[in-house]
Structure 1
């Protein structure tokens, strides 16, 4: 499948479905169609509206859409998105709130590079903005990056994180979500050796595969059941002439989306059937629950082939992080070198992507870190999405993370400093 033809074929299918949706919607909107009472016309128009929007979203990067922030002066302040560091494969951005006193908590959100844009963490950003200065890793769509920019694999990702942490300084609290959890752990450990002063104060790891073998899921089972040759042959394609990254080998976003949907095909089918019915009845809205979710879920980005393949081979199959045998730029990183950074693990009881135990394995690797600087929390009844963006995050996990940050900050009250870091550990 490693040809431009297959890449362009998928885009052609997507584009054709978008056109068919637009055509059906326009057909049903003709005034002459109102002369008949046939409900099929409404159904055609409703299907067209849902289809056009859905297939159009697959190639559009979502807007951040961050609302104004109300501060202690009672005024609403707009949020400016500022690029602090620009790199070929990703930027470090700051959600700056002009006119308000800078917050003491400085948080770097490490977004996944797993098919969706960093905007997947929009709700996480919004929830943290009132209390924190928020920064995030904003990864680029691989199809828009020229081949001349070179490769980008798990080692490059780790080096990017180290550069971002160095730029922001040591008075920093890092929160890594899902896929980058093991790489954020490795980046911190490497900094502990090369530049200890650049380490963050805390590292919160949320639902990531530090040790995929700790608790199997469909994701880990798939990683074990296929060979690297099979993955390279069936998942990797070459970007076509339409994009700046022409010729680059990638794991296409559209192919990733097909995999995402196949995992819960019945659920997605029911959701779209219900939405078509609502549109036909005039009950749907531009920003209703369905559209808000799928506008983000369907927006996918290509991943460089080397990043995808090295993630499967080194994180899932070889378990390099779990075995403390991860090499970056020719140097073996020792997780045990982390001795001062407080680490908190957050997992969801019902997480079917990174099951409980996979992220918790990080604590066993931190052999040089005192027990008082280790913490863990298992959120009962929460799935993967809920532990960083849902009600579980807002109501339970977010307050615990902020408390953990305060307990391990130099300006924390004495009574908080005396508490062990695992005070919030769930039984």
Structure 2
């Protein structure tokens, strides 16, 4: 009951701050105050507008907002989002470009389950749609999943990925972003042993903690400092009566958000202060850079307690993936069993979450894979967000990933597809980081 009361208290505090912002905006915008030439009312209205929007976004799942793209034919093609596989804790969805033939490049984006929705990869999806058939994992908010659906930990997550890859077939290229990189690597190895014909053609790992000890960060240091008992006592709560998942033990998204914000508190504080100033001076807009970023950044979801705790214990503390000791459903996964899936790692030189060295460690685990099928890239000036959604992704990393996909694809089948150029060599060479 204590855990449930704490969960509801956090929601009450969030709701109160949203109400305070709405009240300040309404009161200071009262028409009679326009007769009083006092800028304090403008500043109060600006504070209220920014505060209300900030706390309102914390409980709303963002929309994908990808309505159409322009095709090679110069026409605008509408986008419909279709559910390919529906599961209790996450779905596999497809961005269907209406009126366009199926593309050569079939890409599965594995979105992180680290406190944000899959829509965090919206710009990644949008950048790939003109050239690829895009699928993505759409993880559900744990607070909305009834307790009767059972548990969901890192092993269940891995088996979900295995099922999604099997559903899409071997003519597939997988891109895992951040947190799911080690589990996607394990899922690929699991298929290599259990169902070799279902393996994807290539696997791109972007900024993931394959070996957290390779380059310590604040995230890894935190995992080393605290015990599992401390984490369970301080971070785990039970969903309150307001949601379908009432009673389920979760790591609340609001707590995760507080952790994210505290890592760069000065930068976030400055950003919100500047936004209040812009609103007061009439220089802000509904979709200005601040709102575009924070509408997504502040939208958080709960993770199941067992997934959060098993991630910390098995991926960060015990380093089971880095030691090649990961067990899934009683089966010890051997990453060395991957012998024909081309693997590329991407890291950001200024990544303060998964520092350079953590992701490229995957290549050393691939003892059965020839060097001709291994590749790596270090983007010197990119931070964590930039390597999959920022300018570095658009201008530098995305073209390299598409080249890597093409280099590890078979010739197109005899049907209408995109007119991308296919490379004859089997894979890019191993690059030094």
Instruction: Tell me the distance in 2 between the aligned counterparts of 1:370 and 1:3.
Output: 50
1:416 aligns with 2:423: yes
Unaligned runs of 5+ in 1: none
Residue aligning to 1:388: 388
Residue number in structure 2 paired with 1:80: 80
Q: 3-state DSSP class of the match of 2:59?
A: coil
CA contact (8 A) 1:324 1:334 kept: yes
1:324 and 1:365 in contact (8 A); partners too: yes
Q: Between Structure 1 and Structure 2, how many residues are aligned?
A: 426
> For the Cα contact (< 8 Å) 1:146–1:245, is it kept in 2?
yes
Helix, strand or coil at the partner of 2:423: helix
Measured after TM superposition, the shift of residue 344 of structure 1 is: 0.3
Residue of structure 2 equivalent to 1:91: 91
TM-score normalised according to structure 2 size: 0.97
Question: Shift in Å at residue 248 of structure 1?
Answer: 0.2
CA shift digits 1:319-373 (9 cap, x unpaired): 0000000000011000000000000010001100000110011001000001100
Write the deviation string for residues 185-211 of structure 1: whole angstroms up to 9, x where unpaired. 000000001100000000000000000
Answer yes or no: is the 8 Å Cα contact 1:24–1:48 preserved in 2.
yes
Distance 1:388 1:282, change over 3 A: same
Question: Separation in 2 of the partners of 1:156 and 1:308?
Answer: 12
Name the residue aligned to 1:51.
Answer: 51
The secondary structure found in structure 2 opposite 1:33 is helix
Residue of structure 2 in register with 1:253 after alignment:
253
> Is this contact kept in 1: 2:111–2:177, CA < 8 A?
yes
- Partner Cα distance (1:108, 1:420) in 2: 19
Give the conservation status (yes or no) of the 8 Å contact 2:165–2:200. Answer: yes
C-alpha distance in structure 2 between counterparts of 1:366 and 1:155, whole Å: 20
Using the TM superposition, give the Cα deviation of residue 101 of structure 1 relative to its aligned residue in structure 2, in angstroms. Answer: 1.3
Whole-angstrom distance in 2 between the partners of 1:255 and 1:394: 31
Q: Provide the C-alpha distance between the structure 2 equivalents of 1:283 and 1:27, rounded to a whole number of angstroms.
A: 21
How is 1:211-360 mapped onto 2 (pairs within 5 angstroms)?
211-360=211-360
Look up the match of 1:126: 126
In 2, the alpha carbon distance for the partners of 1:120 and 1:426 equals 30
**Matched-pair contact (CA < 8 Å) for 1:200–1:341:** yes
Kindly report which structure 2 residues correspond to 1:102-181, keeping only aligned pairs within 5 A, or say none: 102-181=102-181
Structure-2 separation of matches of 1:285 and 1:418 = 49
Where 1:204 maps in the other structure, the secondary structure is strand
Q: Secondary structure at the match of 2:245?
A: coil
C-alpha distance in structure 2 between counterparts of 1:346 and 1:275, whole Å? 33
Give SS of 1:233's match: helix
Which stretch shows the higher mean deviation, 67-76 or 105-114? Answer: 67-76
What is the aligned partner in structure 1 of residue 62 from structure 2? Answer: 62
| Distance in 1, Cα, partners of 2:89 & 2:79 | 24
Structure 1 residues 152-210: Cα deviation after superposition (integer angstroms, max 9, x where no partner) = 00000000000000000000000000000000000000000110000000000000000
How far did residue 426 of structure 1 move?
5.3
Contact 1:181–1:206 (CA under 8 A) maintained in structure 2: yes
In structure 2, C-alpha distance between the alignment counterparts of 1:34 and 1:316, rounded to whole Å? 57
Secondary structure of the corresponding residue to residue 411 of structure 1: coil
**Partner Cα separation in structure 1 for residue 135 and residue 34 of structure 2:** 52
Q: Distance in 2 between matches of 1:114 and 1:312?
A: 11
Shift of 1:415: 8.7
- CA-to-partner distance for each residue in 1:253-292, whole Å, 9 max, x for gaps? 0111111000000000000000000111111100000000
Which residue number in structure 2 is paired with residue 183 of structure 1? 183
Partner of 1:375: 375
Provide the C-alpha distance between the structure 2 equivalents of 1:414 and 1:70, rounded to a whole number of angstroms.
20
Q: In the TM superposition, what is the alpha-carbon distance from 1:419 to its structure 2 partner?
A: 5.9
Q: Determine if contact 1:253/1:300 at 8 Å carries over to the other structure.
A: yes
Say if 2:350 and 2:384, in contact at 8 Å, map to a contact too.
yes
Say which SS state the counterpart of residue 164 (structure 2) adopts. helix
Paired residues of 1:2 and 1:233 also in contact (CA < 8 A): no
Report what 2:417 is aligned to: none
Q: Report the TM-score, using the length of structure 1 for normalisation.
A: 0.98
Aligned partners of 1:392 and 1:115: how far apart in 2? 23
Is the Cα contact below 8 Å between 1:210 and 1:322 reproduced in 2?
A: yes
Preserved contact between residue 408 and residue 426 of structure 2 (Cα < 8 Å) = no
Query: Compared with structure 1, are the counterparts of its residues 173 and 415 closer, same or farther at alpha carbon in structure 2 (3 Å cutoff)?
Result: closer
Aligned-pair distance for 1:2? Answer: 5.7
Cα offset, 1:417, TM superposition? 2.8
